[in-house]
Amino acid sequence: MVSSAVQTEKSYCFENVTGSCIRITYSLTVQGILYGFLVLGTMVTIGGNLMVIISITHFKQLHSPTNILLASLATADFLLGLTVLPFSSVRSVDSCWYFGDEFCQFHSCLDTAFGIASISHLFLISIDRYCAIIHPLIYQTKFTFTVAIFLISFIWITAVGFPFCLVYSKANIEGLEEQVLAVSCIGNCQPLFNEKWRIISFVAFFLAFFVMVGNYAKIFLVAKKQLKMIENISVKSDKKHERHFKVTKRERKAAKTLGIAVGAFVVCWLPFFIDVVIDTFCNYITPSHVFDALLWITYFKSALNPLIYSFFYPWFRKALGLILTCKIARSDCATINLYLE
């Protein structure tokens, strides 16, 4: 049965244009609800990640290698919201692409690039937290700002270069000539990837997934032991030990918060990659609206990180308050103490 929310008459993305795609037309009420939800998600993605970027770059106390990684991750999510989500919203609600074939390719490359960048940053952050908790002495001397900038640069070069080379060389559609012709119509922007690249992306995702889960599992076990030892020592310790206890407790809480962010990443991305594998071996059987829904779940992962930080990071809440009340304009604001311990 066809839902009453969908109008059954046939319409086209471009009326009176030969070869135009058929458009799925929703009622005005459903369109309004969908646009409202997607616009809200896009605004949260842009605004939330912009707050993270401003907080980490402005406040000197937050200038650490780990936070530079967080700022770079927020940049990837911010750019996704700014350059990809507005056009994806129109495509999802209207089921049509109105912006031309050339921009479709560019948009698809940006979409893939920011997805790769986001996953890569979370992977690197898990390794960073692993080294900070498991090997704290080595970490302080080895993981410097220079190393962090080098790794971030490598991530961005790879994340941007890979999809652009893949799509513009048409290596992603080798062997899919029949499928490309089947979905070819004016108003369609559905990038296709052949079996090889889908399997590669699936394997890469699960390797990253298992490494991140393994890292955080060991982090929590070791941090729990360290915290218990320090608590026992701190009962009869001097201020130096007490300060070390606070730092270690902060590191453990940071690892826990980032572990929650990784958990949200898995929940949001896993259904999408499972569907990728199903489509690979079942000749693209997923309906377009189902694929769109799974894709938007991955998009909104970019909106979740700032919300997670606001719940679990006191420094982010304090920085956010200073930004929203315009106190950030004060000359001494950059040096303010954001840690409330």
CATH of the domain at 301: 1.20.1070.10
CA angle 296, 297, 302 (to 5 degrees): 90
- The pLDDT score that the predictor gives to residue 2 is 42
Rounded to the nearest integer, the mean pLDDT of the chain is 83
Q: Is the distance from CB of 77 to CB of 118 less than 8 angstroms?
A: yes
Q: 246 vs 125, 242, 249, 264, 308, CA distance in Å?
A: 21, 6, 5, 27, 22
User: Token match 């303010």: residue?
Assistant: 336
Q: Is the distance from CB of 107 to CB of 80 less than 8 angstroms?
A: no
Look at residue 81 and tell me if it is in a domain. yes
CA dist 37 and 35 (Å) reads 5
- The pLDDT score that the predictor gives to residue 6 is 53
Look at residue 16 and tell me if it is in a domain. no
What pLDDT band is residue 321 in, cutting at 50, 70 and 90? Answer: confident
Instruction: Give the range with max mean pLDDT: 89-98, 131-140, 195-204, 307-316.
Output: 89-98
- The pLDDT score that the predictor gives to residue 1 is 39
Look at residue 273 and tell me if it is in a domain. yes
Look at residue 278 and tell me if it is in a domain. yes
Nearest CA to 42 among 75, 17, 79? 79
Single-letter amino acid, residue 93: V
Q: Is the distance from CB of 110 to CB of 84 less than 8 angstroms?
A: yes
Radius of gyration of the chain (CA): 23
DSSP bridge partners of 11:
23
CB contact set of 11 (below 8 Å; sequence gap of 6+): 22, 23, 25
Q: For residue 256, give its domain range.
A: 41-332
CA dist 83 and 229 (Å) reads 48
Q: Please state the domain count of the chain.
A: 1
Residues, the chain: 341
Q: Is the distance from CB of 270 to CB of 297 less than 8 angstroms?
A: no
Single-letter amino acid, residue 76: A
CA dist 286 and 275 (Å) reads 8
Look at residue 29 and tell me if it is in a domain. no
Look at residue 7 and tell me if it is in a domain. no
Q: Please, where are the H alpha helices in 135-238? A: 136-142, 145-168, 177-182, 195-234
- The pLDDT score that the predictor gives to residue 18 is 85
DSSP bridge partners of 6:
26
Sign of the Cα torsion 153, 154, 160, 164 reads positive
Is the predicted pLDDT of residue 235 greater than 60, yes or no? no
Look at residue 149 and tell me if it is in a domain. yes
CA dist 95 and 190 (Å) reads 10
Look at residue 24 and tell me if it is in a domain. no
* Residue 143 or residue 237, greater confidence: 143
CA atoms within 13 Å, Cβ hemisphere of 82? 11
- The pLDDT score that the predictor gives to residue 11 is 84
Q: 168 vs 32, 105, 173, 250, 269, CA distance in Å?
A: 35, 8, 10, 46, 25
Lowest-confidence segment of 39-43, 67-71, 162-166, 267-271 by average pLDDT: 267-271
Q: What is the largest CA-CA distance in the chain?
A: 83
